[in-house]
Structure 1
Amino acid sequence: MDVSKSEPSKNGAVQRACGGCGEVITERYLLKVLDMFWHEDCLKCSSCNCRLVEAGPSLFIKSNLILCKKDYLKLFGHTGHCAACNKTIPAFEMVMRARTNVYHLECFACQQCNYRFCIGDKFFLCENKILCESDYEERLVFANMAVHPPSTATLAHIKRQVIHLQPQVMKLDASEF
């Protein structure tokens, strides 16, 4: 884009030419991007042509392109793979994270009973699998039984013993990849 020259107005004030259309900006407020001034309607994403004033509070500049967040991530963002389904996750998609694992929102569920977590739910990462609290406790009970087979103990007795174990609890939190 070319930088247009400013022209003085009749009263001596400097007028600014728009970096998009080249016309003089007569509005009271100026948008300044890449050391140029813009009309609100002229400041558009170089990729999808959406008005950046409406696209949100931020815009991105790379290789002299002015981009909305979605197109910036499409063009320059990193993609990853879902730890549950192993399919590609586009850079602009919302994801769930558990330690170093990243998941599609729809894949973030108990990998034993398929319970879909809600914000604030407890979940457990056990052997790199996400489990709900109930399935995690059940797994602990059976793991304990494998190591220490019960002679006369009941399942309820073993569960009471396992409750005293303090696993690392994680809370659900949405983020962008």
Structure 2
Amino acid sequence: KRRLSLCVGCGAQIHDQYILRVAPDLEWHAACLKCAECHQFLDETCTCFVRDGKTYCKRDYVRLFGTKCDKCGLSFSRNDFVMRAKTKIYHIDCFRCSACERQLIPGDEFALREDGLFCKEDHEVLEKATNSENNNNTTNVNNNNSSHNNNNNEGSNSGCQQLNLPAFSTMRLENVTLCCYRFST
């Protein structure tokens, strides 16, 4: 005995010759399977994504749910090179100091703060301003407590062995780690 198939799109019983099955338990009339956003018909010629019981074309799924740049908010294409800093991810062109807009490249020292991404120089200016406002001592620089220890001393010329980048000192400035991150796809 044939089991009864109900269309997720319209709720009616499916009597058609073909049933479109999306995910193990979602069945559709061919005329009912559409993108929840743009209402494009979805068939065997396009990729279909399901989230929270709704179907999406690839373009809308990536736009709504794909990983986005932490600076500009736009999605990444598969050909984009990106920069990562802890849990943040940026287009290469967006990986810039929030204060001076200088593009940061692998090997540059930077600070990832709650208020943005900063080059070493602008971070130090912000720290001095914060310290003078709070009447605190100068920022404590401590190379031994870095979360990314490249085993270099200040002024060493051997570079970052872990990421194979040119020499620079990795520093920890009051809970803000300045470190290197290389390109990844």
Larger Rg: 1
| More strand by percentage | 1
Aligning the two structures, in what range does the TM-score lie when normalised by the shorter sequence?
0.3 to 0.5
TM-score (norm 2): 0.44
| More helix by percentage | 1
